[in-house]
Every structure is written in structure tokens, then in C-alpha cells.
Amino acid sequence: MPVVERIVRGGTAEVNRNLYRTVRNIVLVALTGVVLAGFLIQIPRIQILEHTARNLYFHVPMWFTLMAAVLVSAYHSFRYLQTGNLIRDVRAREAALVGLVFGLLGLFTGMVWARFTWYQGTNIWWNFDPKQSMAAVQLLIYGAYFVLRSAVEEPRQRGRIAAVYNLFAIVTVPFLLFILPRQMPSLHPGADGNPAFSEFTAPSMRWVLYPAFIAFIGLFWVIYTQRVRTSLIKLRLHGDVES
Amino acid sequence: MNHQVDLTEIAATEGGAQTDTTGLGETVYDTLWGMSDIPGRAPEGIEQVMLAEDKLYVVLAVVLIIWFGLIFLLLRTDRQLDKLEQEVEHRVPQDHDMV
């Protein structure tokens, strides 16, 4: 019974702690570098945007991190359905949870950014811009994943139902975050007649943005692994992660 | 009143443009801060750096303090997890697992 054996050893053997520490340290240094570079490197001054263009380094990686997180989550849901290994369910849950937090940060940072650029002088915080609305719907879909989980008592059944839902949820991501908002008149870059990333973006900004993607996804991985370790201790103590 | 003139001069010599966009000439805080007895000097040393770019680097300093605080928390949580994992390993027999 290799599956059971893995779970029994769960608490400490599941996570490679040396690898975890190495990656964690690299991530922390890299993210410090991203913050420094994000503030220190000169950027072209553009009307309306001004210094807020630096938000590119912090706001956009939130969404890329969400996407990476829900991919990880969906992968483990898929593996759960294959193996029935509860650790897969733990991983799917924690990845979705940390991903959801990054998504919320993306939504709120976007609101603040929009308030002082798109809606400058209008005192509008939320105007149902398609990109923002779809992003909010996306977060609700992942919020419902946790509502669904809390509704099922039995761990194995909960894992199975949640995994199936999660696989449906991942399918909505490209539609809600990319395809639909691009067909509608949105103020967000990447919408109808509005380039996401173009000749307007200084090449120097890409040298900060791309590392920022990797660093924030790395931060997700660190927090996610921390939470998996916590849940595995719970699993060992109570036989269930949601207790 | 003298100080106020000094402060305006500092703002003008530093980074170039005056950044007050209120149109009032002096902001709300100027009436308070401008009257302080601290003698205004032309920026030197650390001020020369921190006051540039519309004081953007002050924000950087704040963000870094927060970030280092978060790193500290993250590392502490890791240490606690290490200990807990070892304790669980010792105290909870393997057949306790329900799975």
C-alpha cells in the first residue's frame, strides 16, 4: 500500500526541507531585489500614469501568481482523483487558498491603481470595468470552492467533490481573465484596441517585470509549502485537515 | 516666516520642480511644519538621496521595512514548523493516522 505509507510518513517526509529552505532563501533575496529595482530604476514618465507605472511590477505579478497557483491546485485535484491520496487534496486546497489571496491582492491593487489613473478626478473606485468584473467573478468561483468544501463532512468525499469542481473552475480562468475582457470595451490594457504590453512599455521595465513574475510565484510557493506542512501536521494529529 | 522661505527654497533647489499642485502656494501642513524651529538647510548627505524623485525613496524605505518584517515572520513560522514536525513525529504514533 504505497499510498497509505506515504500519508503515514506525511508530516515530515512529504516536504523536502532542504530544497524548501534553499528556494525560500533565493525567493526572499530575489523579491527584495525586485522591490529595490522597482523603485530605483528610472522609468519613462507618461501622462496620467506617472510614477504609478511602477505598479506594473507589483500588480501584474499578483495575477500571474494566481494563475500559477490555480494550475498547481488543479494539477493536485487531478492527481487526487487518480490516486485518492489525501495529501493531493491538501495540496489542491492550500494552493487554491494562497492563490485566492494573491488574486484578492491583485483586485485591490488594481482598484487603487484605477482610482487614481482611469478615474482620476471622478472619485470612482469601481465602475464595473469588464476586466475588473470578470476578475472579481473569477475570485468568487474560487471562493465557492471553499464553501463547497465546508459543506461536505467526510474527508474522502469532500476531496472528490472539491477536486471535480476545481477542474471545472480552472477551465474558466482563460475565459474570465483573458478572452472575455478582450472582447469588451475596457480601460484595462489588453482590451479592445488597448495594448497590454507594447512599444509603450520601456524595455528596461521588462527586466524588472519578468523577474518579478518569478519572484512572486516563488513567494506563493514558499507560503503554499508552509501551509501544506501545517496541514500535514493537522492531518497527522486529527486525521483531517479541516479540523 | 523666515523658515518658510527657506523650506520653499529647499524644495526648489532639490529635484527641480515645485511639486505642490494644490494651487494654494503652501499646503495645509506648511502652516504647521513651516513654523517649526528646526532651521531649514539645503539638503546634504542622506537628504540629498531621500528627497529626490518627489521623495519616492521615502516610500521605498517604508516598503522595505514592511517587507523585512514579513520576512522575519515567515522565517519564524518556518522554525516553529520544524519544531512541531519533530514533536509530532515523536509523540503521535504512526497508526494514529486515520488514512
State pLDDT tens for residues A189-221.
Answer: 877 656 666 655 678 888 899 999 999 999 999
A177 and A138 in contact (C-beta within 8 Å)?
Answer: yes
Which of A124, A145, A140, A120 is closest to A50 using CA atoms? A120
Q: Between A8, A40, A233, which is nearest B84 by CB?
A: A233
Contacts of A150 (CB under 8 A, 6+ apart): A242
Contact with chain A for residue B60, Cβ under 8 A: yes
Q: Tally C-beta pairs within 8 A across A and B.
A: 67
Tell me: pLDDT of A90 over 60.
yes
pTM of the entire structure? 0.80
C-alpha–C-alpha distance, residues A173 and A70, integer Å: 9
Which of B69, B51, B84 is closest to A237 using CA atoms? B84
Query: A-chain residues within 8 Å CB-CB of B94?
Result: 8-9
Q: How far is A35 from chain B (nearest CA, A)?
A: 8
Residue with cell 490594457: A189
Cross-chain Cβ contact B54/A51 below 8 Å: yes
C-alpha–C-alpha distance, residues A209 and A55, integer Å: 10
Q: What is the pLDDT of residue A242?
A: 78
Residue B14 CB burial class (10 angstroms; 0-12, 13-18, ≥19): middle
Joined together, the cell numbers standing for residue B78 give 518556518
Which of A141, A6, A168, A174 is closest to A81 using CA atoms? A168
Cross-chain Cβ contact B99/A12 below 8 Å: no
Residue pLDDT, tens place only, A54-83: 999 999 999 999 999 999 999 999 999 999
Q: What is the pLDDT of residue A29?
A: 97
Residue pLDDT, tens place only, B24-81: 666 666 666 666 666 667 777 888 888 878 888 888 988 999 999 999 999 999 999 9
> What angle separates helix A203-238 from helix A86-115, to the nearest 10 degrees?
140
ipTM > 0.90 for the complex:
no
Contact with chain A for residue B97, Cβ under 8 A: yes
C-alpha–C-alpha distance, residues A162 and A88, integer Å: 12
